[in-house]
Amino acid sequence: MSSSAPVAPKSQNIVWHGETVSRAQREAAMGGKGAVVWLTGLSGSGKSSVARRAEQLLLDQGVHAYVLDGDNVRFGLCRDLGFSPQDRAENIRRVGEVAKLFADACVVVLTAFVSPYRADRDAVRALLPEGAFLEAWVDTPIELCAARDPKGLYEKARQGLIAEFTGVSAPYEEPLRPELRLQTAGQTVDETAAEVIAALRARGLIR
């Protein structure tokens, strides 16, 4: 992560303060590295379930981990945003900045966001050091997502009751080169979460 000031903040009356504790020092003190596992996929694909299970498995192994969930952040950090393309982009921008801070504090962050646009996901990747961002495409067929429909959203979208719903009336741009492609159809949440853990370990991000 760069320690240089962000580009062109709105306010001109602020000054960037450089760090006095390095990332390496934090890693040594915390006994681990920070990373972001960005789970992206359609509503109902299993993102939140996989993120929550992976979080528990990591904590059981003594790894500092935390989930940022797409719905939950809209109750606080992003409660002023809707689902227009512009609001979706701002939602992901804010979450990306929060995830960056968590990762810098040596936490493994598991995010669960539809995040339908490649440019938004790539912008978050650019915030993290090389190798610290894992794009995890939860590749679940839309038919299965709709059959699960845990929130009843697909039916509402098809009735025209929800505008700009990803997969029905708004696009989803599939990842082109994700670090992980998780296919939840035909396997358990534990099996899918184990793939996430294995990927983190293979990259030396956890022991």
**pLDDT, tens digit, 9 for 90 and up, residues 120-154:** 999 999 999 999 999 999 999 999 999 998 789 99
Among the options 49, 84, 115, 169, which is catalytic? 115
**pLDDT, tens digit, 9 for 90 and up, residues 12-63:** 777 777 777 877 877 777 778 999 999 999 999 999 999 999 999 999 999 9
> Is there a catalytic annotation at residue 2?
no
Q: Whole-prediction pTM value?
A: 0.89
CB 101 within 8 A of CB 26: no
Give the dihedral of Cα atoms 165, 191, 55, 101; nearest 10 deg.
-60
What structural domains does the chain harbor?
Answer: 36-202 (3.40.50.300)
